[in-house]
Structure 1
Amino acid sequence: MVIDVERLSRLFAGRRESISDARAFTRAFVVDRSPDDLVDTVELVVSELCTNAVEHTASGEEGGQFVLELAVHSEHVRVGVVDFGAHTEPTVNDEPFGVDAVSGRGLLIVETVSKAWGSERLRVGRRVWADIVGASM
């Protein structure tokens, strides 16, 4: 019997090392469930949202964690990251960047490659999500 899973989530430790694990988890789940042109973009969004959770929320503190949620739909892939919360809401940094800038563009990238993105407060923390559409979806 084959069971086709369309949604999957996993809890990760709130450490920078977990971001590469989250990308690998994403690739393994999405690669056979969505068009090839979409896999790299979904992995990029996962990387940016997980990095934000670790660097800008309580998930990155000692003992912190975050949850990666993936859902493959017929028209898009939804990526969600649930973190332990922060004092501010996530916003796109639209200030000009120098050529040497190495941070501060995460949500700008997510906004650029996603059909839609947003965030919602939860009882504990926040979910930041993005819907990614491939050319053949």
Structure 2
Amino acid sequence: MTLHPNDADRTRVAACRWFPGSPSSVRDVRRFIANRLADCPEADDAVLVASELATNAIQHTESGTWTTGFLVMLEHTEDEGALITVHDAGTTSSTPYVEDFKPDTDCGRGLTLVNAVAKSWGSQGGPAERMSWCVVRCH
């Protein structure tokens, strides 16, 4: 999946990295995105949504083990923004969705934050693999 499959003239920055399925990897995802988008005024938004998608991969899919892990891809153009994609090992038990959360709970806010911050987002896949993505402004 690319932001600009038919436009070879645009300047595109692309990077990907595999992360082990450990909670400590979320910190590394944040650093990975922040370093790649250092010149982007909305880098903090991109870091936030990437960490939420990575956390979901670890907590809610089969990628939550050290050896399985997950892949984070980043594509960026100044015109279109940053596309962040998290590829995980999927799950048979749930599909990502924005849930109503109670203010006094510690979980359930991740996709609500992604929904509020990202220009667009989505998820597709099933029991063997899932791809969750979002686009964040970056001009």
Q: TM-score, normalised by structure 2?
A: 0.84
**Cα separation, 2, equivalents of 1:77 and 1:68:** 12
In the alignment, is the contact (CA less than 8 A) between 2:30 and 2:50 conserved in 1? Answer: yes
In the TM superposition, 1:1-137 aligns within 5 A as 6-32=13-39, 34=40, 36=41, 38-61=42-65, 63-73=67-77, 74-87=79-92, 88-93=94-99, 95-98=100-103, 100-121=104-125, 124-134=128-138, 137=139
Report runs of 4+ in structure 1 exceeding 3 Å deviation. Answer: none
As a proportion of its length, which structure holds more helix?
A: 1
* Percentage of pairs with the same residue: 33
- State TM-score, norm by structure 1: 0.85
SS of match in other structure, 1:59 = coil
Q: Secondary structure of 1:60's match?
A: coil
Do the aligned partners of residues 96 and 126 (structure 1) sit closer, same or farther apart at CA in structure 2, a change above 3 Å counting? Answer: closer
Q: CA RMSD in A?
A: 1.8
Task: Tell me, yes or no, if the aligned pair for 2:91 and 2:127 is still in contact at 8 Å.
Answer: no
Amino acid at match of 1:77: A
Q: Letter of the aligned partner of 1:86 in structure 2?
A: T
Structure 1, unaligned runs of 5 or more: none
